[in-house]
Structure 1
């Protein structure tokens, strides 16, 4: 068990990195809303099992249902829908690269809404470097076959900002409640599932069964593994390695997505893509190192374990 956390760390990064190609395959057959609903449905099962097995669910938790609703919207429905729509419009490798900006938007949301994040030169440098990488990945100056879909980029950035806001909301309103993370995740995904069942038009959803690769990728890759098991792995990593170390898993999915897009989907690999992903990850590294250094100089406090981190 000594190296179990490191194995889980690598496995989680690969799981999140493969989600973009699975989304791309599913988008050929069904709508974005149907992808999100089925992903949440299959992902809810292992989370519910884990919550029941750990006996984390309590009736008194329901008094905070309004917070679960907000988290369901920010960290599941809007987040998953925006990323699915963006991935459908972009190369899976480009969508994966842009997902690497989630930590940047998390810091930006904390800066705007919490006003507790001191802004120093290293934080500014990390933010600027990361967003330069986003700009290089989006390539707004190009045209023709090499042009990147601007709506697709905006969807990805909107999804990243939504989940970034969810981290801030969880920190401000959910952390003081001392509800177990697996229970919070169960309530969040369960609430999202109910809403999606009410609003999603499932007409034509059975078409995905025409493609075994797409249907298995959605049910197992995006749902069971990419949503449910991924959350459980994340909790395990946090318990074994700590929240700051667990945050480092965000470096893996963009690289995995770029590799899979090029190898499995025969997507072009340009030098600019390599520079873009390097800039994004370097920006995240500078930003996280600045924050971890500052936290090391302050008394230790309990930090929240967030439900949901990647696509």
Structure 2
């Protein structure tokens, strides 16, 4: 397996843009689905419908893998942190805000990752520039969403749920790096994680909501959106996620959260007629600046080459 690089080559950029498109569109599909189906049910169907596809994708690698080489415990934790909690929380948040706003709140993930990573012994969280980048990014999200402004359409409870989902994603990224899940075949890692999430979310949906009744009453849009988010935003996206994690590392992987809001906002405006506030691009620009400050590479001076 190639070691993770600190810079992005053409292949890594292609994977990054692909993942941003897959996940950016997922906010649109979830936004459509939760209008008629409960959020936990949407989360359960998202992983449950993706599971058979991932089984087929992972079969060749599973045949070459010995059972003792499969980190079952790490995959269960990954399923809880990267699927169960964020999928349910984000779906619930989208009952209280637009898909574009939900994707913008999700852009706090890289900054929360920087904050939690030292707890896993991964990076040294020091430096005024890094701290300034974190504050700049969080300020950008706050400006774009404006939870204090009722006219903006973002409910504070929905924003809080979105931030908790982002925190769960941040913990998942740190856990994946610490536990070495990037060494697994991408399809195998995705299958193990989604299987664990399915075993939790399906019973939870049955206990908390009424999935059968909701699906029976759902219209055509919801019935299309749910398989779409399962196949596109989960079955297709997570092998790309683990491949990019192995190729470029978790820091570069977080760049996807900057591209996702732009795709989600555009899709929400075109398909759902969601209103884009004039201040939202300014907030997203602050998020991009904040992550650039955290990353630091744009601020490094080029050293003169010596003969």
Counterpart-to-counterpart distance in 2, 1:292 and 1:176: 31
Instruction: Determine the structure 2 residue equivalent to 1:106.
Output: 113
Residues 1:219 and 2:224 are matched in the alignment: no
Q: What is the count of residue pairs matched by the alignment? A: 287
TM score, norm. by length of structure 1: 0.82
Query: Which of 256, 267, 279 pairs up with 1:272?
Result: 279
Q: Deviation string for 1:252-287 (max 9, x for gaps)? A: 111011112222222222222111111112212221
TM-score (norm 2): 0.83
1:195 aligns with 2:203: no
* Pairing 1:228-239 to 2, within 5 Å after superposition: 228-237=235-244
* Structure 2 residue corresponding to 1:32, chosen from 19, 27, 39: 39
Shift of 1:155: 0.5
Indicate how the Cα distance of structure 1 residues 116 and 3 shifts in structure 2: closer, same or farther if over 3 A, else same. closer
Contact 2:89 2:162 in 1 (8 A): yes
Mapped to 1, the partners of 2:181 and 2:202 lie a distance apart of: 30
Quick one: distance in 2 between partners of 1:290 and 1:155?
Answer: 32
Cross-structure match for 1:59 = 67
Change (3 A) 1:5 1:95: same
Deviates more, 1:11-20 or 1:181-190: 181-190
Q: Residue 169 and residue 7 in structure 1: after superposition, are their counterparts in 2 closer, same or farther (change >3 A)?
A: closer
Go from structure 1 to structure 2 and tell me whether the alpha carbon gap of 1:104 and 1:245 turns closer, same or farther (over 3 Å shift): closer
**Change beyond 3 A, Cα 1:252–1:146:** closer
- Note the C-alpha offset of 1:115: 6.9
In structure 2, the residue matched to 1:171 is 177
Query: After the TM superposition, which of the residue ranges 160-169 and 7-16 deviates more from structure 2?
Result: 7-16
In structure 1, runs of 5+ residues without a counterpart are 294-311
Q: Map Cα deviations across residues 104-156 of structure 1 (whole Å, 9 max, x no partner).
A: 1111111344374231122112101101012213324323x335200100000
Stretch of structure 1 that moved more, 193-202 or 222-231: 193-202
In the TM superposition, what are the counterparts of 1:1-311 in structure 2 within 5 Å? 7-55=14-62, 57-61=65-69, 64-114=71-121, 116-143=123-150, 145-172=151-178, 174-175=179-180, 178-201=183-206, 203-205=210-212, 207-208=214-215, 210-220=218-228, 222-237=229-244, 242-243=248-249, 245-289=252-296
> 1:238-258 CA distances to partner (integer Å, 9 max, x unpaired)?
66x633655433321110111
Q: Does the 8 A contact of 1:30 with 1:208 survive in 2?
A: yes
Residue in 2 aligned with 1:300? none
CA RMSD, 1 decimal: 2.8
Quote the offset at 1:194 in angstroms. 1.3
Distance 1:178 1:15 in 2: 23
Residues 1:131 and 1:211: Cα distance change in structure 2 (over 3 Å) = same
1:190 Cα deviation after fit? 0.7
